[in-house]
Structure 1
């Protein structure tokens, strides 16, 4: 078996390492947000692709990642270089992702069929490059420190930068698109987001350059061992299941923001406000969730954050009758829950990995991170696909850029898709969280 390095126990990470690791969230936040926010509207309202077909086109390239991410995890576990484990993929995968993302919105627009196929192919390349960045990135916390408190602190830094990345890309991308206008607006936006992705990749690559690695463990080497490792670790399966189910709800929520502003509220200028309300609370409440974790435990905090998210989502069902300010306030409640729903599972994952590595004497970080990333990718891809299906059922009318009056059923679908559907999926993760998940 091959081997990989794991750091010494009980040390506090330097600020350079914490900040450097967190900067990788600029890349993950940008790619995790912008396609979910704008790719579906780009297909339906610029390329005139039907809502159901657009949802499928967003889903299929991501579905590939479900198969490929565990492969990326195994490759990452078994790679040894003079610049350290994982790190070559952080820079290589990040730069490749930036280039592919810039090309995602730069394809032909003369034929809706040809344009749709181009988008699907380029999105597939983006997803593959993202796997090589995201899987090693998710594996790092278990290897940077074995102190559970330090892991929570490291994850909190990551989520804080993630919130900034989501805020900048989620509010900035539509603003750039609308400022330039039309197809060119999407192309300029793609390049701008690509630059943000590169900054994140370079930041995490340089920031983790001096991270300590002292112990050596054997790694999983065959597919049979991969399957066995997942089957034996029930806490990982329970945590992953809750996270994936909730990712579907989050993906649906992101896909619906643009439609909620344009169709349900009737003012696309509200879209940045809605998105800021959704993301900005994470920067304010992250210390609160850390204190909840320290006092009541990560699992309890996770459950509480889930309930807060659901309450805010259900409040959005009143969009058609409530003042815009109240709708934005509901989005802010969602944002408070969203911060916890992100930080707690990511803080619990390294605990699960380390417990399993102690039990087996084998390194599992890349393997579990690969499967985790595959599940997250699938969940976030199913969200827009599901939202597209809801729009299709409601009779949403696609267009090639012109304003189209939507039927009443489509307006109802827009609201249900961003309110009821996310709440149902986020709450569906609660039964799995009742299980005993490793928490130290």
Structure 2
């Protein structure tokens, strides 16, 4: 198959305007919103960040089957993508709308319900979105290019949402700041959903294969699909590490660097280099192989994260340099798994003669979602272990144990998690990589 039209590449890639903010902003701001604005205890706040994503993990494979069924009936997954994307946008704004129950427990319950519904809508968007690359092109290198475009837009979306969202919340301040931020990010998501819906109109969907209808058969597929399990395992532990970093950015800026307004600069220092590396990592993969590039990116990310352990004593400039190296590695660990995944799906569909893209995307998204969910919950647990003081007073003093917990949670723990993924990179099960 020849190269995809620019319209299709760009249209598909702009779906990252939905996935980027949803994956970034809650991990970056939801935990401090709960602990420092609503006054929810850190352990409970961590659970609030985690519990809705548990449902998402369980629901994603089901959303994958629904997406496959819709593809068989209509010849397209675009209806799910549009409806899910708009639903995510509206419900995301609702998470931070704060109805004002004047009770931290009631406010926390409201956030759980809104986040629960938002995560459900996200499954209907993300699962078919992840399934598309395996269907709209059968060209091995074109999939890497498509993924690179997608990750490039993702980096821009993360840079914008992760950089601008904190500026809005701190600039306006209080509950009003979070409300405005929720609406701004929601509008961005609507634009992304419309772009991918319109941009992929007329894109090929590949051979219409029969779908697996029985969960017993799906379970057998996952049990035998060794390469998929290894790749998902790597992606899961590394997503967990990245999500722990995201959860800790606001706390590190405020209590380690000593300037809460620096969180936007700290975030930009990570995402900016990640964006610049997006066209570089595919070239590295083309020359030395996706597997070798994936391993190199993982090593860079793990080492850079470990170096942030010294952030308490470093000048801000030195901390930002190490944060930039984090971005370099982060770009690679995002590009390579998503470039390898469509190859594995294609191989499995050829082997079985049945549709696998939807269910594989559902399980993949479940693993990704679980990693992101556990990261916020894990950081909340670390704060609790360090006796972090939650308060509606944003200037509440913290004990030394809380500062130590923030530093470890922001550097050592994610470095270890990223490094754990490296031994899982088995060349034997990623032969085409």
Q: TM-score per shorter chain, which class?
A: over 0.9
Q: Please, which of 361, 374, 379 is the counterpart of residue 366 of structure 2?
A: 374
Is residue 63 from structure 1 mapped to residue 62 from structure 2 by the alignment?
no
Partner Cα distance (2:168, 2:274) in 1: 23
Matches within 5 A, 1:29-428: 29-80=20-71, 84-109=75-100, 110-428=102-420
Check the 8 A contact 2:269/2:320 in 1, yes or no. yes
Distance 1:214 1:167, change over 3 A: closer
* Residues 317, 416 of structure 1: 8 Å contact kept: yes
Partners of 1:260 and 1:49 lie apart in 2 by 19
Deviation, 1:215, is 2.1
SS at match of 2:98: coil
Q: Partner of 2:209: helix, strand, or coil?
A: strand
How many residues in Structure 1 have an aligned counterpart in Structure 2?
431
Structure 1 121/438 Cα, relative in aligned 2: closer, same or farther at 3 Å? Answer: farther
Deviations 1:387-411 (A, max 9, x none): 1111111111001133111111111
Q: Distance in 2 between matches of 1:234 and 1:128?
A: 28
Q: 2: CA distance between counterparts of 1:270 and 1:426?
A: 25
Distance 2:280 2:197 in 1: 30
> CA separation in 2, counterparts of 1:193 and 1:92?
17
Q: What is the CA–CA distance in structure 2 between the aligned matches of 1:310 and 1:269, rounded to whole Å?
A: 26
Instruction: Kindly state the Cα deviation for residue 435 of structure 1 after the two structures are TM-superposed.
Output: 4.5
- Offset at residue 214 of structure 1 (A): 4.9
The alignment yields a C-alpha RMSD, in angstroms, of 1.1
TM superposition shift of 1:108: 3.0
The equivalent of 1:18 in structure 2 is 9
Report the CA distance between 1:213 and its aligned residue: 3.3
5+ residue gaps, structure 1: 1-9
CA distance in 2 between partners of 1:358 and 1:82 (Å): 21
Q: Check conservation: 1:174, 1:272, Cα contact below 8 A.
A: yes
Distance 1:213 1:341 in 2: 27
Matched, 1:439 2:428: no
1:204 positional shift: 0.4
For the 8 Å contact 1:47–1:401, the answer to whether it is kept is: no
Q: Are the equivalent residues in 2 in contact too, given 1:280–1:335 (CA < 8 A)?
A: yes
Q: Which runs of 5+ in 2 are unaligned?
A: none
CA distance, structure 2, for counterparts of residue 310 and residue 258 of structure 1:
20
Once the two structures are TM-superposed, the CA of residue 231 in structure 1 deviates from its matched residue by 0.8
Pairwise CA distance, 1:81: 7.7
SS at match of 1:160: helix
SS in 2 for 1:221: coil
1:352–1:438 contact (8 Å) kept in structure 2: no
- Structure 2 SS opposite 1:404: coil
Whole-angstrom CA distance in 2 between matches of 1:150 and 1:330: 32
TM-score of the pair, normalised by structure 1? 0.96
Does the Cα contact within 8 Å between 1:159 and 1:343 map onto a contact in 2?
yes
Cα pair distance change 1:84/1:207, threshold 3 Å: farther
1:23 and 1:200 in contact (8 A); partners too? yes
User: Aligned-pair distance for 1:269?
Assistant: 1.5
